[in-house]
């Protein structure tokens, strides 16, 4: 067996973890259950805020709580470590979350992207685009699976007999990190 934590594109990659998960974002499976929109504090760098603000008018069409008296609310807070977080409501749900007529919890930024024929990777915070994967601080940083990802019905254990990335996980890596990273990860997996 080759190295399980190769450094690819300056990121240490937890290969065993990445091939262990199948992911399918389907809001219907979290109806009445825990939702990623209510389980995590969404942190981002200051430069991501402008991207979110640019898409807030479209998102407000789905999540009316983003506006009060015709004005957009400030839904951001700065943390002690100079990151920006998105505020949550009384149910600890992200203020960009909304429920459709079926009661499914959806992201208004993602819904706006679909309606506007945009990529959700262009409208959502990076940490949301990366989920159920996670980056842990280190030198270099580590790409792995979020510790509690299997508590959510959209994530399942993947049999490792084929040792390959799930299609959705591969898509996340490609969209967040690019083709070169995905090719590097697939090459490293083939050497396992």
Measure the CA dihedral 11/137/84/50, to 10°.
Answer: -10
pLDDT tens by residue, 6-18: 999 999 999 999 9
pLDDT bin (cut points 50, 70, 90) of residue 91 is confident
Is pTM, for the whole model, over 0.85? Answer: yes
Containing structural domain, residue 48:
41-125
Calpha distance 186→170 (Å, rounded): 9
Give the per-residue pLDDT at 31: 67
Q: Are residues 53 and 100 both part of a single domain?
A: yes
Average confidence (pLDDT) over 57-75:
95
Q: Are residues 99 and 118 both part of a single domain?
A: yes
Last residue of a domain, one of 125, 158, 184: 125
Give the per-residue pLDDT at 47: 86
CA-closest candidate to residue 76, choices 92, 62, 88: 88
Give the per-residue pLDDT at 121: 92
- On the question of pLDDT at 136 being above 80, the answer is yes
Q: Are residues 169 and 104 both part of a single domain?
A: no
Q: Residue 39 is inside which H or E element, if any?
A: none
Last residue of a domain, one of 125, 142, 173: 125
Q: Are residues 177 and 152 both part of a single domain?
A: yes
When divided into structural domains, the chain yields a total of 2
Q: Are residues 100 and 155 both part of a single domain?
A: no
Calpha distance 98→66 (Å, rounded): 10
Q: Are residues 61 and 106 both part of a single domain?
A: yes
Q: Are residues 83 and 120 both part of a single domain?
A: yes
pLDDT bin (cut points 50, 70, 90) of residue 1 is very low
Average confidence (pLDDT) over 54-81:
94
- On the question of pLDDT at 21 being above 50, the answer is yes
Last residue of a domain, one of 80, 100, 125: 125
Give the per-residue pLDDT at 39: 83
Output 34 or 109, whichever has higher pLDDT: 109
Calpha distance 153→40 (Å, rounded): 16
Measuring CA to CA, how many Å separate 163 from each of 89, 151, 169?
41, 22, 13
Q: Are residues 52 and 113 both part of a single domain?
A: yes
Q: Are residues 72 and 94 both part of a single domain?
A: yes
pLDDT tens by residue, 98-107: 988 888 888 9
CA-closest candidate to residue 14, choices 177, 179, 99, 136: 136
Determine what percent of the chain is predicted with pLDDT higher than 70.
96
Average confidence (pLDDT) over 72-99:
91
Burial of residue 67 (number of CB atoms within 10 Å: 0-12, 13-18, 19+): middle
Q: Are residues 28 and 46 both part of a single domain?
A: no
- On the question of pLDDT at 174 being above 70, the answer is yes
């Amino acid at each position: 067996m080759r190295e399980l934590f190769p450094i690819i594109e300056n990121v240490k990659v937890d290969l065993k973890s990445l091939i262990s998960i199948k992911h399918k974002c389907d809001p219907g499976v979290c109806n009445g259950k825990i939702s990623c929109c209510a389980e995590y504090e969404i942190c981002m760098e200051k430069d991501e805020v402008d991207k979110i603000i640019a898409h807030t008018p479209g998102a407000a069409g789905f999540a009316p709580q983003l506006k009060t008296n015709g004005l957009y609310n400030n839904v951001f807070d700065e943390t002690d470590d100079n990151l920006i977080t998105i505020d949550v409501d009384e149910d600890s749900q992200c203020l960009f979350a909304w429920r459709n007529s079926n009661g499914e919890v959806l992201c208004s930024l993602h819904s706006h992207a679909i309606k506007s024929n945009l990529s959700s990777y262009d409208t959502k915070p990076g940490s949301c685009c990366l989920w159920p994967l996670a980056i842990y601080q280190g030198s270099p940083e580590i790409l792995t699976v979020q510790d509690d990802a299997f508590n959510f019905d959209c994530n399942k254990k993947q049999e490792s007999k084929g040792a390959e990335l799930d299609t959705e996980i591969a898509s996340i890596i490609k969209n967040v990190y690019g083709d070169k990273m995905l090719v590097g990860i697939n090459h490293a997996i083939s050497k396992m």
